[in-house]
Amino acid sequence: MPKSIGILTSGGDCPGLNAAIRGVGKAAHSKFNMRVIGFRDGFRGLMENRTMTLDPAALSGILTVGGTILGTSRDKPQKMQIGGKEIDATDAIIATYEKHHLDALVCLGGGGTQKNALHLKQQGLNIITLPKTIDNDIFNTDVCFGFDTALGIATEAIDRLHSTAHSHHRIVVVEIMGHRAGWMALGAGVAGGADVILIPEIPYRVEKIAEAIRERSRGGSPFSIVAVAEGAVSKSDADALQVIEQRKAKASSKTDKKQAKAALAKWEQGHSGNTWRLAKQLEEMTGLESRVTILGYVQRGGTPSAADRLLATRLGTACADLINDGVFGVMVASRGQGTAPVPLGQVAGRRKTVPLDHGWIKAARLVGTTLGD
């Protein structure tokens, strides 16, 4: 009897999801004669048994389409919002899995999806995942699909902002996605020739940035491009966050945990709007007019790049191959031009941040880019 597999996409959308769905589905159909169904809107659709058939006709023409034909959501199996209440939908999800006589469930998503997939694997389901996120921060894979496209969009934005910054002698502060990892801000900043790059891994001092901008002005360049990751923090904010996280880690009683959680929420609320505050500070300290551009969700949209289509197709077809071989409980990771199955326990709950000795950081410093430290 042919194997049956289900596919869902979870978390934020990004370019390359459809290419990955196509890669899994086409290989499963044409090479291994498997039956493939998709679940709509992530784990919520899996719980509610909302499906679509992923036959060759449904997979045709989606390689170049952005987003996901399955829809997506950020719902968690064990923390599903139903009727204003949070419930554990794990049993309902297992029931749907068994109703369709699935041999495997493929989950396409980022860090949260990897944790949710591990949870279902621990409940006895045959799970396999693919790494997608524009932040490129999933642990144990060389690269995630979606990153290359978003990197190109952010780089083009910086390219375009150079002309207006130069014409009006302004500081242009460009906020780029990356809450806990600075891969995209760093990559786009280097590729786009930003004068300042700020990432979460390197806490910055505003005085250092202002001095570098003033030095540029004295040297005949009265404008600057500042590429800042949304999660970049000042040295003082980073120190305060470290104290809160240490307190949270040591918390043992419910009261201590609640207080630590509240302190973290207050810190995050205070960090909101950080890019605007930074621009105002730089304007006051340098005497140059500052403008802010927040790229936001435009970084997630549009047609996937050739590199992302290739990567998603490689990972998707490798996924079908692993299912045929009976390999489950893994993420299909990118390794050079190949792939490798990595146990979900070695992925979930971990984050790939930019190493301080990474080549991109070294290159940025050597061309005179200021990193705020």
Residue numbers annotated as active site: 135
Q: 36 has which bridge partners?
A: 5
Helix axes 147-168, 183-192, angle to 10 degrees: 50
Q: 342 has which bridge partners?
A: 331
Residue with tokens 């242009």: 172
Per the CB < 8 A criterion, the answer to whether 311 and 136 are in contact is no
Token reading at 168: 């009006």
Residue spans of alpha helices (H) in the chain: 17-30, 42-48, 56-59, 90-99, 111-122, 147-168, 183-192, 206-218, 235-250, 254-271, 274-286, 306-324, 359-366
Task: Report DSSP state, residue 345.
Answer: G
Report the C-alpha dihedral over residues 113, 76, 178, 332, rounded to 10 degrees: 0
Residue with tokens 């950080």: 274
Q: Using CA atoms, how far apart are residues 22 and 61, in angstroms rounded to an integer?
A: 9
Q: Go through 131-164 and write b for each residue having 16 or more CB atoms within 10 A of its CB, e for each that does not.
A: bbbbbbbbbbbbbbbbbbbbbbbbbebbeebbee
